[in-house]
Structure 1
Amino acid sequence: MKKITLILILLLLNSSLPANAAVEKKERLWQDETVYSIMIDRFNDGDRKNDIDVNAKDPLAYNGGDIKGIIDKLDYIHEMGFTAIRLTPIFDNAKNGYHGFWVNDFYKVDEHFGTLKSFQTLVKEAHNRKMKVMIDFVTNNVAADHPWIKDSSKQDWFHEKKDIQDGIVNQKELENGWVDGLPDLNQDNPEVKKYLIEAAKWWIDKTDIDGMSLPEVNNVPISFWNEFSDEVKQEKKNFFLMGVMSKNTSTDLKKYEGAGIDSIVNYSYSEKLRKTFAGTDQSFRELYSDGDNGQNSFLRANFMDNEYTSRFTSDIVAKKQFPGSRWKTALVYLYTTPGIPLFYYGTEIALNGGEIPDNRGQMSFRAEKELIDYITKVGELRNTLPSLTRGTMEMLYDQNGMAVYKRVYKGETSIIAINNTGKSQSVTLTSSQVEGGKELRGLLAGDKIVSKDNKYMIILDRDNSEIYVLAEKSGIKFSLIASLVVVYLLCFLFLYKIRKRKR
């Protein structure tokens, strides 16, 4: 039954797309990916045998999530349209290091999560679904009780203990200071540099992962990243490095691109997104008016929240808004503008939470499916239309929460309209903005706008969005008729088989 249903959906989707909207992505680029970000311990408990010292009622202890639990939910993630997963650190951690950032052994999987073999299975199963896998690779510090601390031969592996002060800090203080009291590694030491690089290469060779996210990338010297990126990228073609900036700091992002870091998780852009979409009637101007400090927008990691921030849902609730509507609007923008969407687990159920550890709540798979279905639909369009991931972007209209913008790639034109206001809105696009004499075919909500006097009038109710493709005016479409005939035949065959089984 599932197979027949999938065939029907694909036939109808294919018949509804204009011919020039079928520009094939022969080879997926990283800017085409949509990443589902998982805190392993809080996602899904698939193996009770590794529930060591687990206390699901304690937000500061291990709660039971593991690698097997992720394997069990790969289809769930994949069916929502995600093409990659990113995992918090999987390495052996100190007691209660559920988050993975208190590393004790860079060459061992934490026993609470599983084994090297189980992780290799996860990567293989993801690749079977044409999904990529990224893991966090910690380079800035180790656990407070790491064996190296007491090793007299490794005292110069660490910077002198000195906390990073609150407020504005200089780069040297960031690179040398101890974050949260954790021993800060001295990457200028050749032995430390070699150890970290060799460990990273080992994980690529042993597990065939596709990328790494690098926590506190700006707390580590650029000179280290130059060598690190050069070495690890030789291990696998198109290996991807995503740097995660430490919060409350700002720096020139261009220098990280020059050092081989492909993408940056930048909190300043996330804050603009949250401010724009938590409520209504906000201009989009802050989101597109600057170059984001020189970063390549096609590879920028776009996110609403993550394991370091409060949940975006908490912003919505604080403004007394309905989470489902605000999330839908925000995700349409995230999925249809340049950059790589980085989607924090639990977003699909509008998981709420304040600061750490409240933002790291356990995932539930028994929630309302309305938002999940919407994400699936938007994800399918992102994966189908190359203009949404590779096209140029031009803002055509932006007024107090109503925005219309255009993405163009190799003859495919998408028009995205978002009404994030408190009432219905109408926008008229002229032939100077969009080629006249055609029609805008809505693929998200099914709207269709035919050109009249070479103009297009878009009308959207509040809290609604639409993703249009520019197409020739509809006439008798024999491909659609043929598709419908096939659909009816399949339905008849399906009903016939059910009746036959009942007999």
Structure 2
Amino acid sequence: MDCSRHIASEIDDSSIGGKHLTSNYMLSLALIFLFCAVGPSGFSQAPVFSKIDPPNWWTELPDPVLLVQGEHLQGTQFSIKNSDTTIDLVRTSPNGHWAFLKLDIKSAKPGSFLLEARNSAGATSIPYALTTREKPAADPRGFSSQDAMYLIMTDRFADGDPDNNRQPGMTYDRNDPHAWHGGDLRGIQQHLDYLQDLGVTTVWITPVDQNRETDSYHGYGTTDMYKVDEHFGTLADLTALANDLHARGMKLVLDIVPNHVGPAHPWVEDSPTPDWFHGTKAQHRLAQGNFRALMDPNASSRDRKDVLDGWFVDLLPDMNQENPLVAQYLIQNTIWWVQETSADGLRLDTFPYVGRQFWHDFHAKLITIFPHLTTVGEVFNGTFAMPPMLNSFFAGGAVRSGGTTDIDTGLYTPFDYPFFSVIRDVTVRNAPMTGLANLFRQDSMYPHPDRLVTLLGSHDTKRFMSEPGATPEKLLLAFGILLTARGTPVIYSGDEIGMAGGEDPDNRRDFPGGFEPEESSANAFLSARRSTDEANVHNAVKRLLAVRNSVKALQLGKQQLVQSDEDTIAYVRGLNLEHGCAAGQDRVLVLANKSDTTRKLTIDMNETAMEDCTRSKLLLGDKHSVQISSHSISANVAPLGLTVVQLR
């Protein structure tokens, strides 16, 4: 049959001959189309494989669901050759571009097998690998309050391989703050000596997924969730970085983005299922940062959906985690990255914008496989109005209401963005130090306040040194509190040398010394090449980290607030704070002064965690100013200064 001529004739007859477009007639026409597509004896073209997610798997892990991308997959029979693995077809897309295949690997042995697809026009096959999972040596160790974390935006830190800077269709221009600048995974690995010498124990890197867009250097607009972006290097580069960190006793935190993908992702124009996203490119909600709607039982469904179903910045397609296939894909993808890299922890992007049920299932599955893996969730809507009551709603370890359902997210900890706001308020906005005390008084809202990841800033905020009124001395006071207070501190790359930077993208300037040519310019990786201001801040932060890393009370201790006023605050860190020094536990007293004059602080130790302490050892501050008696301790604290005393 000449299909094109026959169809044209039928359509022409319908308009010229006066045929009515009845349902029976339209069905007949559809059958002609189908006959022409597959031919009189079946399909006209054999199936084609172009991609499988995940690209490989491990025998000891849960059964995977493969997302197969290709052509002519509808109506196709799938089978497995050379393996005890069995397969169940879950579904295929009507256009034949996608198929979901559930594997049963319980009886499978490690090795490669052939996945075959066959229709009447022919067959195709592709190899697939199941390997033995390396454990327990390669299991994640998890980050905790014992660590000092360091945030690196990979593209802006160091260029270790200039050959990968220019990628087809991508803009590489170090003078353009929105373009790719060349930082990569090898660049990070080449400067681990610098980080270790500083006192960093854990490195958090921004997402490494492929981002094939001209201005997606930051990594948050993925176009392939199973590839390392070519600008950053290869999967081998990522595993080499992880291995080097682990060999040094350090840890790796990966940045995971289950909320959305980039606008250039192939799914946007051709989705595996009709409801793969919340909405479509043409019609979708704009994501709102009204997180209160998620905890308010009186909030409307509309307000909750504006948070959970909206497209972030009206651009990034929002994944529909309520679709079980989407949830399976996202959880499986995270398992794959952790297993491939032996990453120790995860930073979870845009945490409140994803439903609580997904997070509960996500953590339940991952912790079953990786018992020591820890996660930190980004609870931040771009404002300074993030009270602990709201932030704590997302913490794991407590069942909280999400609309009409009580669910524990399972999250190890959220970031402490309330601390970020308050520490800037008291150091550069002339707010009273009692504001910090009031923040600490609300720690009871968290199941685990000691886990909170505290920060002075991040790649999403203006740099501390670009705040009006900021000075290196105020920055160091903020660092002093950050590195002695409860929680897991994170340092945004460059803050340790006092880098400036306004709003995004100015806050993402290149780290000095990480890019060629550097022979005639500053190089903050080398002590001899730092400016005086850079050296002063760097050396002070290094001293603070050395103290923190050597004193268990500052890493693992609880916190007791003992005094605060307009300009000063005093708190104690230690184990078993309900008892004094008589219990045999050391105590660490931290005294901070934000005024421009020296303040003498006298603390009554009776009925505090310092009761019965009789000996002192100065860790930071003026060694001649500390005096301890049987009931009190006093010290002169310098302007914009910090005094830290170990008590026994």
TM range (shorter): 0.7 to 0.9
Work out the CA distance in 2 between the residues paired with 1:301 and 1:424: 31
The alignment status of 1:112 with 2:231, answered yes or no, reads yes
Q: Kindly tell me the number of residue pairs found equivalent between the two proteins.
A: 441
The range that moved more, 278-287 or 174-183, is: 278-287
**1:393 equivalent among 535, 550, 559:** 559
8 Å contact from structure 2 (residues 143, 374) kept in 1: no
Conservation of the 8 A alpha-carbon contact between 1:133 and 1:209: yes
Distance 1:469 1:256 in 2: 32
Aligned pair 1:455/2:629, yes or no? no
Counterpart in the other structure of 1:497: none
Counterpart residue number, 1:476: none
Q: Could you say what secondary structure the match of 1:259 adopts?
A: coil
Q: How has the CA–CA distance of structure 1 residues 440 and 68 changed in structure 2, closer, same or farther, with 3 Å as cutoff? A: same
Per-residue Cα deviation, 1:200-249 (whole angstroms, up to 9, x for no partner): 11111111001111111100001001111111223323101111114148
Q: Distance in 1 between matches of 2:497 and 2:369?
A: 38
Structure 2 residue identity aligned to 1:329: L
In the alignment, the residues of structure 1 paired with residue 499 and residue 488 of structure 2 have an alpha-carbon distance, to the nearest angstrom, of 21
Which residue in 1 is equivalent to 2:595?
Answer: 421
Q: Hey, what does 1:278 align to over in structure 2?
A: 428
Residues 461 and 246 (structure 1 numbering): CA distance in 2 closer, same or farther, change over 3 Å?
A: closer
1:452–1:230 distance in 2 versus 1, CA, 3 Å? closer
- Give the match for residue 199 of structure 2: 81
Structure number with bigger Rg: 2
1:328 aligns with 2:476: yes
Match of 2:443 in 1: 291
Match of 1:127 in 2: 246
After superposition, the C-alpha distances for 1:390-425 in whole angstroms (9 at most, x for unaligned) are 222222221212222111226011111111111011
Closer, same or farther: CA 462–58 of 1 in aligned 2, 3 Å: same
Residue number in structure 2 paired with 1:242: 376
After superposition, residues 183-222 of structure 1 pair within 5 angstroms as 183-222=317-356
Q: Does residue 1:267 correspond to 2:433, yes or no?
A: no
> Given that residues 438 and 450 in structure 1 are in contact (C-alpha distance below 8 angstroms), is that contact kept between their aligned partners in structure 2?
no
Which of 359, 362, 367 matches 2:507?
A: 359
For 1:249-271, what per-residue CA distance to the aligned partner results, in whole angstroms no more than 9, with x for missing partners?
Answer: 86463454132110102433321
Q: 1:402 aligns to what?
A: 568
Aligned CA distance change for structure 1 residues 116 and 152 (closer, same or farther; 3 Å): closer
The question of whether the paired residues in 2 share the 8 Å contact of 1:436 and 1:451 is answered with: no
1:346 aligns with 2:494: yes
Q: Structure 1 CA distance, aligned partners of 2:562 and 2:267?
A: 57
The corresponding residue for 1:98 is 217
Residues 29 and 111 of structure 1: is their aligned pair in 2 closer, same or farther, counting only changes over 3 Å? Answer: closer
Q: Which residue in 2 is equivalent to 1:224?
A: 358
Q: Are the counterparts in 2 of residues 302 and 340 from structure 1 also a CA contact under 8 Å?
A: yes
Q: Counterpart of 1:491?
A: none
Contact 2:437 2:569 in 1 (8 A): no
Aligned equivalents of 1:213 and 1:350: distance in 2? 24
Alpha-carbon distance in structure 2 between the residues aligned to 1:327 and 1:152 = 48
Following superposition, the deviation at residue 429 of structure 1 comes to: 2.3
Counterpart of 1:179? 312
- What is the percentage of aligned positions where both structures have the same residue? 28
Q: CA deviation at 1:308?
A: 1.2
Task: Give the equivalent residue in structure 2 for 1:489.
Answer: none
Q: Deviations over 1:161-215 (max 9, x none)?
A: 1213577863321110011211111001111111111111111111100111111
Further displaced range: 446-455 or 117-126 = 446-455
Whether the 8 Å CA contact 2:164–2:231 is kept in 1: the answer is: yes
User: How far off its partner does 1:280 sit?
Assistant: 5.3
Number of the residue aligned with 2:107: none
Amino acid at match of 2:561: M
Task: Report if aligned partners of 2:425, 2:431 keep a CA contact under 8 Å in 1.
Answer: no
Per-residue CA shift, 1:272-294, capped at 9, x if unaligned?
12111225572233332323743
SS of equivalent to 1:145: coil
**Aligned-CA RMSD value:** 2.1
Distance 2:429 2:351 in 1: 32
Distance 1:340 1:34 in 2: 6
Q: 2:186 aligns with which of 68, 75, 88?
A: 68
CA distance in structure 1 between the aligned counterparts of 2:318 and 2:261, rounded to whole angstroms: 7
Consecutive unaligned residues of structure 1, counting only runs of 5 or more, are: 1-26, 472-503
Deviations 1:304-350 (A, max 9, x none): 111111112122xx12x42x211111111111111111111110111
Deviation for aligned residue 1:447: 1.4
How far apart in 1 are the matches of 2:257 and 2:444?
A: 25
Q: In 1, distance between residues paired with 2:444 and 2:205?
A: 26
Could you say which residue in structure 2 is the equivalent of 1:440? 616
| Larger relative strand fraction | 2
Following superposition, the deviation at residue 153 of structure 1 comes to: 3.7
TM-score normalised per structure 2: 0.65
Q: Secondary structure at the match of 2:274?
A: helix
Query: 1:348-396, CA deviations, whole angstroms, 9 ceiling, x for partnerless residues?
Result: 1111111111111111124331111111111111111111122222222
User: Distance between the aligned counterparts of 1:445 and 1:379, measured in 2?
Assistant: 15
Q: C-alpha distance in 1, partners of 2:613/2:354?
A: 55
CA distance change for structure 1 residues 305 and 437 in 2, over 3 Å: closer, same or farther? closer
Compute the displacement of 1:58 (Å): 0.5
Q: 1:292 to 1:422 in 2, by over 3 A?
A: farther
Contact kept, 8 Å, 2:143 with 2:202, in 1: the verdict is no
Compare the two structures and name the one with the higher helix fraction. Answer: 1
What is the CA–CA distance in structure 1 between the aligned matches of 2:258 and 2:149, rounded to whole Å?
22
Segment of structure 1 superposing worse, 213-222 or 229-238: 229-238
Matched, 1:163 2:340: no
Task: Kindly state the Cα deviation for residue 436 of structure 1 after the two structures are TM-superposed.
Answer: 5.3
Write the letter of the residue equivalent to 1:142.
V
Instruction: Indicate if the aligned counterparts of 2:211 and 2:223 stay in contact, CA closer than 8 A.
Output: yes
Distance in 2 of aligned mates of 1:93 and 1:295 = 36
- Give 1:148 deviation, angstroms: 0.9
Report the equivalent of 1:54: 172
| 1:452 shift after superposition | 3.9
Cα distance between partner residues in 1 of 2:437 and 2:569: 10
Letter in 2 for 1:441: K
- Aligned residues of 1:262 and 1:299 also touching (Cα < 8 A): yes
Give me the whole-angstrom Cα distance separating, in 2, the residues matched to 1:224 and 1:106.
Answer: 18
Distance apart, 1:445 and its partner CA: 3.3
Q: Distance in 2 between matches of 1:453 and 1:202?
A: 58
Residues 286 and 310 of structure 2 are in contact (CA less than 8 Å); yes or no, is this contact kept in structure 1? yes
Partner SS for 2:258: coil
| 2:645 pairs with 1:468 | yes
Q: Using a 3 Å threshold, how does the CA distance of structure 1 residues 28 and 176 change in structure 2: closer, same or farther?
A: closer
Note closer, same or farther for the CA distance 1:100–1:281 as it changes in structure 2 (3 Å cut).
Answer: closer
User: Aligned with 1:179: secondary structure?
Assistant: coil
Distance 1:154 1:147 in 2: 13
